Structure formats: structure tokens, C-alpha cells
């Protein structure tokens, strides 16, 4: 029997199109209760370290080695480590726990396809170091070495937002936008790095024409960015590896030089979305979740800052059943991209009883579902109801790792009446299973102005003037 089976708790609120869904939030809760009930719970602390020395730790109770279900420990350690890898980011995992669990985790990254994917992307590509796992007692103390970004408004600033289909730019003087523009472009198919440089420069020049001078430039862009360098980003998918290393890696440093080396900061679009939402709401402790082509996320701390965390929630585990939907890139099952995105909608079309050609692209599937929803089709309604259940249990799991009172939910999947059903479903889950979260967590969606230009304006506030 699968060692995790006793902990895969059926949800009280069942997603109508996916009755086999087994939420991570419930599995972890059942596992920790079993550890506590044993009377000899095994404390384990896992810390993840970033290249700049930042370190973040998380403590959880595990089963004692002689417990009948102790074989499940390795699974729960690995799922915890994966969440930390993709939410916090880092190249070194330190474990204060039994050596067999440390060895099991290390072998996962060496011997399995899923583990090797995580090790290559997070360790080698993002942090340019081999991913390592070692035993340590105690683990490194929590430390955030990277300075917080955002909410700096003094002076004449330019903010830009780079998406896969358009780029936006704003000129801002002492916090007041004086110019905004949206330009259609097609970066994902472009193999020449000069296309990206020229496109961004074009937008920056147009914004600069509306300012007496340029004191600082801030940018928001899809992908993973570390110290202003793109590491993994769909915007540059067509750029050959050699050209990526030669031009894209230092793209924003080259742009900075072209603008007289003014303060220049670039952050992940999910981060800036959350920052924009926080400023619009006048609230902190905000988790932003964008349900679009994939799943983007960002987080604003209780102090009102964005962090050095990756927040790549497309890859974090949210469903622990062995047969969950497989992510086509990482090969892992039950990760966020399959539950909070167009991919989730496309996956649920067939169970909903909607006939579509097998090769119909995901954006077209979403448009079809949205059109059916607008007509009151019950099949489309069931898709959105299922997504709402996913979101509720997903947020309950996220809340273990993110101190948040406010959740900003946006993205194309949220468009129309379906978005309302998603939020209603998430609230119903929290009320039924996590009442303390239901009382604390407030849901928000951006208005149209914030959707279109708020991100570029917020990006302008990223750099701090000396």
C-alpha cells in the first residue's frame, strides 16, 4: 500500500469535476496530527539558502522512525522541500533531522527525473550553483540579505511592464503618472536579443519625452529574475543559449548603461502585481495569484515590501494524490499550474462534457468556456466551481508559508462571471475546513485601470534613489 494513503484526506468540499482531488493542505494537517498523536513527534527543520546569503527555514513535525506509517516521512520531506525551492528559491538545502531522511532527499535530486528538473532549473539556471542537500544542526538562521524594493516615489521615474503580447510603460513624477502607453509586441517568438533591447528602449524613450529628466527606471517582467538578471523566462524562449548568455543575461544592465546608469531595478511580474495591488488597496500582507497562461504569484510583506523570494507557485505541490495531473514541463504531478491557470480550464473541458478538438489551443478553450458561461451553460459553470474549490484548498496550503491577510486574484481565467464563481468557491472551502482563515483572509480583484497600467506605475517605484 502507498505509504501516503492514510493521509490523503478526501475534501469536505468536493470539486464536482475532480472527485479524486486530495489537497496538500489536508494531507499535511492529517500527517502532523498523526505525528502529534504518536506522543513522540520527530521535529525536523529545513532551511534554504540563496546565493547572497539569505536563508529561510521551516519547521514541521514528522513521524517517529518506528511508527507504522513512518515510510511517509520521505514523501512529506520532499514535498516540503519542493515548496520551499519554488516559493523561496535557493541552491542549498540544510536539514536538521535524521540522516536517512537527508539521504533520501539528496537521492531524489540525483536519481529521479522530477528531482533532477528541480535541481537543474533552481540550482544551476537560477542560482548558478549545484543544488546541494546536507545535514546541519542547527540549520542556518533566518536572514534576508536582499533589500526590499518598492514604494519609492521621489523624482522623475519610468516604469515598464513586459508581457508576452504587449509591453506597457508609464512616466511618473513624484508618484503621479503623467503618461502611459501600451504597445503590442511578440517577444516569445523572437530569437534575436536585439528585438528585446530595441522594444524596451522604444517604450522608455516615449516615456522619457514626457519627463524633464529621468532619475530612475523600474521594470516588471514575466519570469525569474535574480539581481536584475533574467534566469528563466518565457519572454526569451526562442533566444539560443549562447545569445541568452551573451546578451539577455545582461539585458537590463545594458539598458541601464544606455540611460546614464540611473538606478534601475527589475522584478518578476507577479511581485510587482502584488505590490500594485497592495498600493491600490492601501493594505499589506498581500498574496497575489494570477491565473493566466500558467500561474504567477507575488507577495507583499506585512511591512509593505516585496522580497527576494521566487514565488513560482506554478511548480509547488497542491494535490498529493499519486495520479494527479502531470505538468508537461517538470513532469511532476499535482503542481499549481494544473489548478490555477488556463491549463486547468483546458484539462477540465472534457470532464465537463464539452467537446473540443484535441488540438484546440488553451486560450481558445478558455474563450469557449467563457462564452458558454456567459450563456448560462451548466457545463462551464461546473468548471469554474471546480476551480474555486482548487483555489480554496490551495490558499489554505499557501497560508502556511505566506503571512497574508489579503489575496489578490487576477488573470484571464478570472474574467467574467466565472471569476465570481471561483471566489465564491474558495470562500466556501475556507468556511467549511479552515474557519480561522475564512475570518482573516479577504479576497480582492483589480479594477480595469489597475489591470492595464497599475503594474507599470508600481514598477516605477522599485528603485531607491541615493
pLDDT digits (tens, 9 = 90+) for 195-206: 999 999 999 999
Encode pLDDT of 10-48 as tens digits: 999 999 999 999 999 999 999 999 999 999 999 999 999
Report how far residue 95's alpha carbon sits from residue 136's, in angstroms, rounded to the nearest whole number: 6
pLDDT at 382 over 80: yes
Encode pLDDT of 149-190 as tens digits: 788 999 999 999 998 878 999 999 999 999 999 999 999 899
Three cell numbers at 332? 511532476
Are the CB atoms for 56 and 93 separated by under 8 Å?
no
Q: Which of 63, 114, 118, 54 is nearest to 86 (CA)?
A: 118
Arithmetic mean of pLDDT over the chain: 93
Report how far residue 387's alpha carbon sits from residue 373's, in angstroms, rounded to the nearest whole number: 14
Domains contained in the chain, number: 3
Per-residue confidence (pLDDT) for residue 448, from 0 to 100:
52
Residues 370 and 406 in one domain: yes
Residues 315 and 236 in one domain: no
Residues 200 and 80 in one domain: no
Encode pLDDT of 240-270 as tens digits: 999 999 999 999 999 999 999 999 999 988 8
Contacts 24+ apart (CB under 8 A), 107-114: 108/78, 109/133, 113/331, 114/330, 114/331, 114/332
Residues 310 and 217 in one domain: no
Encode pLDDT of 123-140 as tens digits: 999 999 999 999 999 999
Q: Which of 119, 118, 79, 73 is nearest to 97 (CA)?
A: 73
What is the edge-to-edge ordering of all strands in the sheet holding 264-268? 176-184, 166-173, 156-162, 216-221, 264-268
Residues 310 and 429 in one domain: yes
Residues 192 and 309 in one domain: no
Are the CB atoms for 289 and 234 separated by under 8 Å?
no
Give the E-state strand segments of 104-202 in sequence order: 132-135, 156-162, 166-173, 176-184
* Prior bond of 90 cis (ω within 30°): no
Burial grade of 17 (CB within 10 A; 0-12, 13-18, 19 or more): buried
pLDDT at 2 over 80: no
Does the residue 141 lie in any domain? no
DSSP, residue by residue, 315-346: SSB-B--TTPPBPTTT--BSBGGGTSSHHHHH
Report how far residue 235's alpha carbon sits from residue 222's, in angstroms, rounded to the nearest whole number: 7
Residues 311 and 391 in one domain: yes
Residues 261 and 290 in one domain: no
Three cell numbers at 48? 534554504
Are the CB atoms for 3 and 72 separated by under 8 Å?
yes
Structural domain that includes position 211 = 156-272
Whether this prediction's pTM lies above 0.85 is answered by yes
Three cell numbers at 438? 475564512
Of the candidates 135, 166, 200, which is a domain's last residue? 135
Q: Which of 150, 148, 168 is nearest to 159 (CA)?
A: 168
Residues 265 and 302 in one domain: no
Residues 289 and 264 in one domain: no
Are the CB atoms for 139 and 96 separated by under 8 Å?
yes
Going from the C-alpha of 418 to that of each of 34, 351, 375, 424, 441, the distances in angstroms are 38, 17, 11, 10, 21
286-291 and 295-300: which strand pairing? antiparallel
Report how far residue 430's alpha carbon sits from residue 425's, in angstroms, rounded to the nearest whole number: 9
Per-residue confidence (pLDDT) for residue 88, from 0 to 100:
94
Mean pLDDT value of segment 346-357 = 96
Report how far residue 244's alpha carbon sits from residue 221's, in angstroms, rounded to the nearest whole number: 16
% pLDDT > 70, the chain: 97
Of the candidates 217, 244, 272, which is a domain's last residue? 272
Three cell numbers at 318? 497542491
Residues 296 and 218 in one domain: no
- Read off the CATH number of the domain in which 178 is found: 3.30.420.40
% pLDDT > 90, the chain: 80
Amino acid at each position: 500500500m502507498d505509504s501516503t494513503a492514510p493521509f490523503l484526506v478526501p475534501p469536505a468540499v468536493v470539486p464536482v469535476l475532480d472527485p479524486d482531488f486530495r489537497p496538500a493542505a489536508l494531507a499535511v494537517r492529517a500527517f502532523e496530527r498523526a505525528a502529534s498523536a504518536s506522543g513522540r513527534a520527530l521535529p525536523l527543520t529545513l532551511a534554504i539558502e540563496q546565493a547572497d546569503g539569505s536563508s529561510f527555514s521551516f519547521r514541521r513535525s514528522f513521524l517517529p522512525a518506528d511508527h507504522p506509517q513512518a515510510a511517509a516521512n520521505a514523501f512529506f520531506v520532499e514535498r516540503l522541500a519542493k515548496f520551499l525551492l519554488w516559493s523561496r528559491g535557493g541552491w542549498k538545502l540544510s536539514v536538521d533531522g535524521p540522516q536517512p531522511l537527508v539521504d533520501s532527499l539528496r537521492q531524489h535530486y540525483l536519481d529521479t527525473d522530477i528531482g533532477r528538473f528541480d535541481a537543474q532549473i533552481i540550482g544551476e539556471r537560477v542560482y548558478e550553483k549545484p543544488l546541494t542537500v546536507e545535514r546541519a544542526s542547527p540549520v542556518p538562521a533566518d536572514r534576508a540579505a536582499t533589500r526590499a524594493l518598492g514604494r519609492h516615489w521621489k523624482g522623475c521615474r519610468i516604469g515598464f511592464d513586459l508581457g508576452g503580447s504587449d509591453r506597457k510603460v508609464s512616466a511618473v513624477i513624484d508618484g503621479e503618472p503623467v503618461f502611459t502607453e501600451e504597445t503590442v509586441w511578440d517577444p516569445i517568438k523572437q530569437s534575436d536579443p536585439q528585438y528585446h533591447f530595441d522594444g524596451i528602449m522604444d517604450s522608455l524613450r516615449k516615456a522619457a519625452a514626457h519627463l524633464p529628466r529621468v532619475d530612475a527606471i523600474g521594470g516588471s517582467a514575466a519570469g525569474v529574475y535574480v539581481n536584475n538578471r533574467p534566469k528563466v523566462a518565457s519572454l526569451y524562449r526562442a533566444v539560443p543559449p549562447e545569445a541568452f548568455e551573451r546578451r539577455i543575461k545582461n539585458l537590463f544592465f545594458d539598458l541601464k548603461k544606455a540611460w546614464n546608469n540611473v538606478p534601475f531595478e527589475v522584478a518578476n511580474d507577479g511581485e510587482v502585481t502584488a505590490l500594485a495591488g497592495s498600493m491600490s488597496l492601501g493594505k499589506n500582507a498581500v498574496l497575489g495569484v494570477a491565473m493566466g497562461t500558467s500561474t504567477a504569484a507575488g507577495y507583499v510583506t506585512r511591512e509593505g515590501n516585496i522580497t527576494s523570494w521566487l514565488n513560482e507557485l506554478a511548480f509547488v505541490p497542491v494535490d498529493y494524490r499519486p495520479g494527479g495531473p502531470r505538468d508537461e514541463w517538470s513532469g511532476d504531478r499535482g503542481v499549481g499550474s494544473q489548478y490555477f491557470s488556463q491549463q486547468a480550464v483546458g484539462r477540465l473541458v472534457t470532464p465537463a462534457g464539452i467537446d473540443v478538438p484535441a488540438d484546440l489551443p488553451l486560450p481558445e478553450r478558455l474563450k469557449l468556456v467563457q462564452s458558454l458561461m456567459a450563456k448560462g451553460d451548466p457545463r462551464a459553470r461546473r468548471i469554474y466551481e471546480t476551480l474555486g474549490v482548487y483555489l480554496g484548498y490551495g490558499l489554505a496550503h499557501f497560508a502556511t508559508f505566506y503571512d497574508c491577510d489579503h489575496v489578490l486574484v487576477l488573470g484571464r481565467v478570472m474574467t467574467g462571471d466565472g471569476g465570481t464563481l471561483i471566489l465564491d468557491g474558495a470562500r466556501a472551502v475556507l468556511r467549511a475546513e479552515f474557519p480561522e482563515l475564512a475570518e482573516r483572509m479577504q479576497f480582492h480583484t483589480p479594477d480595469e485601470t489597475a489591470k492595464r497600467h497599475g503594474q507599470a506605475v508600481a514598477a516605477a517605484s522599485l528603485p531607491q534613489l541615493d
